[in-house]
Structure 1
Amino acid sequence: MSLFGITVSFLKRRIIQPVANLLKQGMTPHKLAVTVAMGTVVGVVPAIGITTVMGTALAARFRLNIAATVLISYLMQPLQIILIIPFARLGIFIFGLQELRFSLNEITAMFKEDWLNALNLIWKANLAAVASWALLAVPVGFVLYLLVLPLLIRFMPKQVQA
């Protein structure tokens, strides 16, 4: 089997089929749109390791499909890693913190010079990243909901929309 065939098989088995199964569980377009928006927003929180707990808690609170919310947040993990530094830079800018260089050489030099100060700077940058994410989470989630809902209404099977 070719690499393309293996990739297509993997995507069908791990992404397309689970999402299709979620659509068959009787979720309304509104609930699924909220689930997609919330899973996406939670999935890009710039704090590695809390997406499962946060997604589960929010899905339970709003009576959404927990498995769907967590699945979507897991699918967002590559984007989460890509967005950590932009969120940190935005938070540093918003809160007027000391600029932090993000290259490996500069971080290594900071740790060699004063490791406690380096940890302090990285901790503050991480908090600033989470704060900037929190400022953007609700508006971005709302926009995602508004973008996804018409698509789901149009393309979901009619019997599921009842």
Structure 2
Amino acid sequence: MNPNESILASIEPASTPVHHNWIYRRVALPILALLRMGATPEKLAWSVAVGLLIGVNPILGSTTLLCLAVALIFRLNVAASQIGNHIVYPLELLLVIPFMRLGSFVFHTEPIPLSPKSLLESARSNPIALTRQLWHWEWHAFIVWACIATIAIPLIAFALTPLFRKLLLRIEHNQYPIISGT
């Protein structure tokens, strides 16, 4: 048994069978472990909320470092913020184009052409102009995302806090006792 499995096995609820689904192993058990190690429900909720929202920002490839920086600056739980960040990765890919379209609408710029033919034609005819335009679309999308995140992060944190408090109470009442990992 590797070290991660033994840690996860040590916090497995005694009253439930061992679950093998991804969300349980990669989200629920680490959150339970963080609560068990002394993370407060409030800080954990803010950390996960920040991770979730940073995880869907429209600048592809920036989420892990941005999430780490924000967690360190605001003294959040880095592990919890990264859990939130990584579970929403598929949403990031789905939301890039809507954020770019919303950014174009808000900033009154021409929308991003979604046909591969028009993008390829622009890349061939004037690659520098296309690069500049892509930067504008990304920047505008990022600003729109930041405005939405500013409102959504506290809402998500306030919604998660009671859930994490209930989990902590269950832990304290030994409903999630430590069991042997061997």
* Structure 2: gaps of 5 or more residues: 1-18, 173-182
The alignment status of 1:102 with 2:114, answered yes or no, reads yes
Choose from 74, 81, 84 the match for 2:86. 74
Moved over 4 A (4+): none
The alignment status of 1:19 with 2:15, answered yes or no, reads no
Shift of 1:51: 1.5
Larger Rg belongs to: 2
Question: 2 CA distance for matches of 1:41 and 1:71?
Answer: 12
Shift of 1:138: 0.8
Report the count of equivalent residues. 153
Question: 2 CA distance for matches of 1:83 and 1:34?
Answer: 22
TM-score by length of 1: 0.83
Shift of 1:124: 0.9
- SS of the aligned residue for 1:156 comes to helix
Question: 1 CA distance for matches of 2:27 and 2:46?
Answer: 19
Tell me what 1:36 maps to: 48
* Residues 117-156 of structure 1 deviation map (CA, whole Å, 9 limit, x = unaligned): 2212111111111111111111011111122122222333
Tell me which protein shows more helix as a share of its residues.
1
Tell me what 1:57 maps to: 69
Question: 1 CA distance for matches of 2:37 and 2:157?
Answer: 20
TM-score by length of 2: 0.75
Contact 2:48 2:83 in 1 (8 A): no
More displaced, 129-138 or 54-63?
A: 54-63
Question: 1 CA distance for matches of 2:45 and 2:25?
Answer: 23
Alignment of 1:122-141 (within 5 A): 122-141=134-153
Question: 1 CA distance for matches of 2:72 and 2:133?
Answer: 35
Shift of 1:113: 2.7
Identity of counterpart residues, as a percentage?
Answer: 31
RMSD between aligned alpha carbons? 1.9
The alignment status of 1:121 with 2:137, answered yes or no, reads no
